[in-house]
Structure formats: structure tokens, C-alpha cells
Amino acid sequence: MSSRTNALREHYRWVIVAAGGLLGCVAIGALFCLPVLLRPIARDTGWSTTGISAAMTLAFVALAVGSMGWGALSDRVGPRIVVLAGALLLAAGLVLASLATSLPAFQLGFGALVGVSAAAVLVPLMACVTGWFDTRRSLAVSLVSAGMGMAPLTMSPLVAWLVQGQDWRSTLQIVAALVAGVMLPVALLVRRPPALAQAAATPHEPGPSVGQALRSAPFLILVLTSFLTCATHSGPIFHTVSYAVSCGIPLMAAVSIYSLEGLAGMGGRLVFGLLGDRFGAARTLVLALLGQAVVVLGYLYARKLGSFYTVAALFGFTYAGVMPLFAVIARENFPLRMMGTVIGGTTMASSIGMALGPVLGGLIYDAFSSYAWLFIGAFALGIGACLSALAFMRLPRRTLPAAVV
């Protein structure tokens, strides 16, 4: 391979990172516009907090169901086609949700279609980025994740501003237009990692089969840790705005708390990404999970805007810093040729964890008119995630053969 070709690939991998960050930002922003619209939808329709929150839960269930399927498909046909399909479906789901005249129709439109389409964007992107980098992999994945973390800083304030001037239905339709207008052209920049083209020339490459990998102890523990991690922060993330409003904080100020979580999360992704490159992703993951569990309890004592800002900054830094490390650990332990499937599996587990928080938080609030037990339960789940990650570190480290890319 010529040095010029190598140089082009060296530069283009950062184009993949930039495209992945932008695509992830818009996709996550579309998915997480529902927390901002929760109260406007409830006021306009009379639907319960639990019922509307269940749409988010259904979205994460759909994301979980679709993750391994989209991931396996991207292993076969490449990430570009899958991401383009996901962008189209995401815009369609937002439009259908905006037209819903009943709660079940809204839950299916937003929940099922938006959720499954988000999986078609997020899973192939993370798998693709891990394949473009042999060095600075943790930093690259963290930068893509940081792009996703821009959603609370960009999309959420935009949605909050839009819904103050018009109804939630028109707001969702504008978000759908933004999704189509941004994601479709940017998805054309996504390309398969060069190593996969080289692997195609090897008819009998060594290494485990997909079935063996999915039954292995590293995969099973990684899946459990992913589930517990996201079950820890899903409820607090989704109900941050609603909780702050219930404490007497105005909507735009409450959204700014959510945005601060996202800003702090960008720092967490970068810091933990650098730490992962320096000290190892698994060791860094344990530290981040312990921090997440402890910090979430701070919301029990947050009442004023200043205290909300403090807790949100610490919580966003820790929970967001956790997520890129899972993709890095997956790439360190499994061949690139099955990376879409493996990351799809961990994303499936994390999505099921994310599905619990919205509906459980809604049930807790409807039952007790308080979110206290939500944060106590999140702490317990966070400790479980930390212990699971410790179990992963005790497994013998497996070195992949050079031919297994």
C-alpha cells in the first residue's frame, strides 16, 4: 500500500470521527427531545406522566431489539447503508409521533420507530470508529461520544425554545426536518474501516466464531455491566427537567441544568477517554462507575438552581465518561469482523437499562409525588455496575491473533 494511501486513510479516520459525532448528536437529540416535551405534552393532551414516559421506555426497548440486528447487518453490508436507513426512519418516526391523537399511537410512533431507528445510527457508528483506529482508540471513540453529548447543549435548548412559541406537534415536525436535512448528507461520509477490506481477502481467518464470542465470559459480563450502568443513570437523566420544575425552577432554567449535564459529559468523555488510553479502559471504567453511583445521590439534596448545577456537572461528567469505554473494551477483546454484532449486544443491554428509568421514574413520581426513591435505587444499581466491572477485570486477558482484524 502506498504511503499516499496510508496518509489519506490517516486523515480520513478523523473525518469519520467528525461525521460520527454530528450524526450521533442529532440522533440522540431527537431521541431525548421527549424529556423537554414531557410536561407540554401532558398539559395539551391530558395523558399521564407515566404514559408519556413509557414512550421513552418503549424507544429504548426498540433500540435494544434493533441493536444486534442493525449491528450484524452493518458487519455484512457496511455502516453507510444502515446509517442512511436509520436517518430516514428516525425522521419518519418523529413525524408520526407528532400526528398521534392517542397515547398508544404516540407510544408506537415515538417509542417503536424512533427507538429502532436510533439503533441503526448509533451501533454502526461506534463499531465503525473502533475499526478505523489502532492507536488513540479511546480518544477517538470518546470524541464521537462527545459529539453525542452535544445534544443536551444544542438540540434540547432548541426544542425548549421551539415549544415555547408553538405546540409540541409542530416542534417534533421541525426536529424531523432537521434530522433529514443534516443526517442524510453527513451519512454519505461514513465508510467501512480499511482493515475489513483486508480481512475479506482471508477466507479462513483464525479466531472465535460469532456464536462463541456471544457465549464467552467477557461478552456476558460486558453485557451485564452495560445494563446496570444505564439502569443507574437513565431515570435521573430523563427526569432531571421534570424534577427541577417540580422544585419550582422555571422550564428554561431546568433545561439549562440538563444542558450542563451534557457540557460536563463532554469533559467526562474526553478525560476518561484519555485515562483509558493511559491506564486501560477496564480499570478506568471501574473508577467511573463508582463515581457515578456516589454522585447520583446528590440529587436528593438539590433544591435550588445552584445545587442542581453542582450535582448535574458532577453527574454528567461521570455517567457520560463511562459510555465510550464499553466500545473500547469490546474492540480489545473481540475481532473487528464481528464488532457491529458485539457492540450491538452491549447496546441492547444498555438500552434495556435505559428503558427502565423513564417509566419507573414516572411510576415513582405518580405514587409518591417525589423522586427520592428514584435516586436511591439508582445508587444501588450503580454499585452493582461497579462490582460487575470488577469481575470483568479478574478475567484473563485474551490476545487476539494478528490476522484477526
> What pLDDT does 400 receive?
43
> How would residue 6 be classed by pLDDT, with cut points 50, 70 and 90?
low
Residue with the larger pLDDT of the pair 49 and 310: 310
Give 31-82 pLDDT, tens digit per residue: 888 888 888 998 889 888 778 888 887 887 888 888 888 888 888 888 899 9
Residue with the larger pLDDT of the pair 331 and 96: 96
> What pLDDT does 242 receive?
81
Residue 318 burial (10 A CB sphere; 0-12, 13-18, 19+): buried
> What pLDDT does 386 receive?
92
Neighbours of 401 (CB within 10 A): 10
Give the type of residue at 317.
F
The Cα–Cα gap between 294 and 247 comes to 22
Specify whether the CB–CB gap between 49 and 252 falls below 8 A: no
The Cα–Cα gap between 146 and 265 comes to 7
> What pLDDT does 205 receive?
52
Cα–Cα distance list, 69 to 124, 295, 334, 350, 355 (Å): 11, 35, 18, 15, 18
The Cα–Cα gap between 53 and 37 comes to 10
Residue with the larger pLDDT of the pair 240 and 296: 296
Neighbours of 312 (CB within 10 A): 28
> What pLDDT does 240 receive?
82
Give 178-201 pLDDT, tens digit per residue: 999 999 999 999 988 876 655 544
Residue 294 burial (10 A CB sphere; 0-12, 13-18, 19+): middle
The Cα–Cα gap between 213 and 40 comes to 45
Arithmetic mean of pLDDT, 257-273: 82
Please state whether 87 falls in left (phi above 0), alpha (psi between -120 and 50) or beta: alpha
Specify whether the CB–CB gap between 240 and 312 falls below 8 A: yes
> How would residue 259 be classed by pLDDT, with cut points 50, 70 and 90?
confident
Give the type of residue at 306.
G
Sign of CA dihedral 352, 353, 359, 363: positive
Arithmetic mean of pLDDT, 87-108: 93
Residue with the larger pLDDT of the pair 5 and 71: 71
Q: Is the pLDDT of residue 4 over 60?
A: no
Give 112-158 pLDDT, tens digit per residue: 899 899 888 888 888 888 888 777 777 788 788 778 777 777 888 88
Domains of the chain, first to last = 3-192+208-393 (1.20.1250.20)
Arithmetic mean of pLDDT, 389-399: 69
Whole-model pTM above 0.85? no
Residue with the larger pLDDT of the pair 64 and 292: 292
* One-letter-per-residue 3-state SS of the chain: CCHHHHHHHHHHHHHHHHHHHHHHHHHHHHHCHHHHHHHHHHHHHCCCHHHHHHHHHHHHHHHHHHHHHHHHHHHHHCHHHHHHHHHHHHHHHHHHHHCCCCHHHHHHHHHHHHHHHHHHHHHHHHHHHHHHCCCCHHHHHHHHHHHHHCHHHHHHHHHHHHHHHCCHHHHHHHHHHHHHHHHHHHHCCCCCCHHHHHHCCCCCCCCCCHHHHHCCHHHHHHHHHHHHHHHHHHHHHHHHHHHHHHCCCCHHHHHHHHHHHHHHHHHHHHHHHHHHHHHCHHHHHHHHHHHHHHHHHHHHHCCCHHHHHHHHHHHHHHHHHHHHHHHHHHHHHCCHHHHHHHHHHHHHHHHHHHHHHHHHHHHHHHHHCCCHHHHHHHHHHHHHHHHHHHHHHCCCCCCCCCCCC
The Cα–Cα gap between 156 and 29 comes to 7
Give 218-255 pLDDT, tens digit per residue: 888 888 999 999 999 988 888 888 888 888 888 778 87
Q: Is the pLDDT of residue 379 over 60?
A: yes
Q: Is the pLDDT of residue 334 over 80?
A: yes
